Structure formats: C-alpha cells, structure tokens
A = this chain, B = another copy of it.
Amino acid sequence: MAQSHPASTNTPSYLTGDPAGLREFLDKFDVFLFDCDGVLWSGDHCFPGTVETLELLRKNGKQVVFVTNNSTKSRADYRKKLDGLGIPSTVVSSDGHHARETEWLTPYQEEIFSSSYSSSIYISRILQLPENKRKVYVIGESGIEQELRSENVPFVGGTDPAYRRDVQPEDYKRIAAGDTSLLDPEVGVVLVGLDFHLNYLKLALAYHYVKRGAIFLATNIDSTLPNSGALFPGAGSMSAPLIMMLGQDPVALGKPSQAMMDAIEGKFKFDRTRACMVGDRANTDIRFGLEGNLGGTLGVLTGVSSKEDFVSGPVRPLAYLDKLSDLLASEQ
C-alpha cells in the first residue's frame, strides 16, 4: 500500500469499521498533519469523538500538527478555539499520565500552522522587498494582522475601520490619480485572505496596488469555507474578482502550496515518509500531502469532498474514513 503519485488512479482503502486495517495504517506514521475545518469540527461545532481521537494518537506517540488554511485566525486564536472546543492543550503520554514537554512535544501553540502564519513567513523571510516597498496591503481579518506583526511586517488595510465604508464618487478620481492618502506608496505586497468585510473599495485598492507593481499574494485559494454543515465564501472567493480583473493568479501560500509544506517541515523537522496528511478536500488537503511526497494521505467525509471525489476523482487519498473518529475503532 504505497503512497501514489498525484496523477495516479489508485483505489483508496476504505478503513471505517476495519480495526486491523486502521492499526496497519496508523503504524505507518509518526506524524499526522490535520486540516481542521471539516475534519475536527465544522464552524463552531466540534465533531463527536474529535478529542478522543487526538488523545488516542498522542497516547500512541504520534505527533499532531494542525494545518489550517483559515486565515481569519492567528495561531493564538486557534489555540483559544481548540481550548474552547475541549481539545486538550497538554499531551497525554502512553502510560496515561500527562507528559512533560520534550523536544518533540512542543508547546501547544507551536502545533498550529495557519496560512496567515505561512504568508507572513513568506513575506518576511523569502520575498526580497525593496526598502521603500515593505508594506503589505491586507484584505483579511485580524489573524493575518497578528501574524504579520509577529514577523514585524508593516501593513495597511485589514481590519482598519477606515476601509469599511462605501466607495464615494471622489474615490475614483483619487485612486486614479494615485492619491497617497488612499494608495500608500510604500505598499509592495497585496495579501488577500478571507475577509468577512470585503467591499468594493477594498477590491478597487487591491487592484490598483497590483497594477502599480505590488506582488499579488493569497493566504490560500479555497473557494469555500465550511460552517454549520454548509459552505460559505472562502478566501479564494476574495481573490476571484482580482484574478478576473488582473488576468493574473496570486501566489497562494496555504495548502496545497508547497511553500506551506516547506515551512512546516522547517519548523517541525519530520520524516516525510512517516507523515500523513488528514483532510476533507481532495484538491487542497490531499493534493498538499501527495505533492509534498508524504508517506500517506487520509480523507474524511465530514467536509467538502464526497466519497466519489476520493474514489473516482483526479486526486485520491491513500485511504479514507466516514469520519475522523472512526480511527477510535483501531483500539477494538
């Protein structure tokens, strides 16, 4: 049961209700990278068994890393969310006692890797911006801002109330003329993430920044965001108008971009052949694991992709489950 190439047409193993198959699968991996929305929870609803499943993995010495494309939250926000959902922030050792933090048992917040963090690292450490073009124009929420601050990247836009207003007739002339009170001349990057306050003015400014030479980045390109068992506009939908206007795709920093995998590996130092990506989306999560040459990928049917997507689609996981907590049957 070797991990297949992205373009291959293997038939994924269906492991729900197969304790022996589950044990065999788990034994192959030391590290599990988890997508969150649609895998551990949907919106504010934690799936039954999520907490117990993560405990089981940790009890068996597996390292858990939460890898999320949701750019609206920072790693600190995610820690709060995980705490609020009852997902433990300490790690239980195999004998059932609380373990001391060891080298591989990193502090909890460090187990979280978000697209806003990945984007901030890319801007601060990879991009070589000219001295006078270091500001980032943000379309997004506070999660992006917090992570940019953590990397000392200056920014404008984001949650600034000055941008949460209707476009005014005089804005057109000011933007067309490059008025520096609307278009900051030091902006060298436009970073687009999920923004619940997207509006016409923000899109107009982002477009003009890119036309004036700014680099076009997206935290991620998921078109939808699961919530309450349904789908809502995702970060990719914020970039979509700009992609259409500019005729240009952004550099996307979230899954399935391998920029994110490289950053995770740089931080957590693991053997890719002993790592498994768990996710609900074939075209982002599973693709991310396959293109990253991880040892395995595991699909769950509690999010976006359907059984048909996993079994017959162009991007197929190594195995799939009805739901994450089906892993608990490995103990039977």
Question: Is B240's CB under 8 angstroms from A172's CB?
Answer: no
Residue of B with least CB distance to A241:
B237
**A residues 169-212 with Cβ under 8 Å of B?**
169, 172-173, 175-177, 195-200, 203-204, 207-208, 211
Looking at the complex, which of A5-13, A113-121, A221-229 is the stretch in contact with chain B?
A: A221-229
Q: Choose from B199, B228, B241 the contact partner of A241 (Cβ within 8 Å).
A: B241
Q: Does A127 contact B (CB under 8 A)?
A: no
Q: Does A232 contact B (CB under 8 A)?
A: yes
Which one of A44, A169, A176 has the greatest number of beta carbons of chain B within 10 Å?
A176
**8 other contacts beyond A196-B200, A240-B244, with CB at 8 A cut-off?**
A166-B196, A172-B230, A175-B228, A176-B229, A207-B231, A223-B245, A237-B240, A238-B241
How many Å from the CB of A231 to the closest CB on chain B?
7
Once bound together, how far apart are the Cα atoms of A159 and B310, in whole Å? 42
Once bound together, how far apart are the Cα atoms of A230 and B212, in whole Å? 12
Once bound together, how far apart are the Cα atoms of A211 and B229, in whole Å? 14
Q: Which residues of B contact A204 (CB under 8 A)?
A: 232-233
Q: Choose from B200, B228, B237 the contact partner of A197 (Cβ within 8 Å).
A: B200
Q: Choose from B172, B197, B227, B244 the contact partner of A236 (Cβ within 8 Å).
A: B244
Q: Does A243 contact B (CB under 8 A)?
A: yes
A residues apposed to B, CB below 8 Å: 43-44, 166-167, 169, 172-173, 175-177, 195-200, 203-204, 207-208, 211, 223-224, 227-234, 236-238, 240-245
Question: Is A233's CB under 8 angstroms from B172's CB?
Answer: no
Question: Is B172's CB under 8 angstroms from A227's CB?
Answer: yes
How many Å from the CB of A115 to the closest CB on chain B?
17
Given A237-B241, A241-B238, also A230-B176 (CB < 8 A): yes
Question: Is A43's CB under 8 angstroms from B233's CB?
Answer: no
Once bound together, how far apart are the Cα atoms of A240 and B242, in whole Å? 9
Question: Is B233's CB under 8 angstroms from A200's CB?
Answer: yes
Residue of B with least CB distance to A196:
B200
How many Å from the CB of A100 to the closest CB on chain B?
38
Once bound together, how far apart are the Cα atoms of A172 and B227, in whole Å? 6
Once bound together, how far apart are the Cα atoms of A200 and B175, in whole Å? 23
Once bound together, how far apart are the Cα atoms of A234 and B244, in whole Å? 10
Question: Is B228's CB under 8 angstroms from A233's CB?
Answer: no
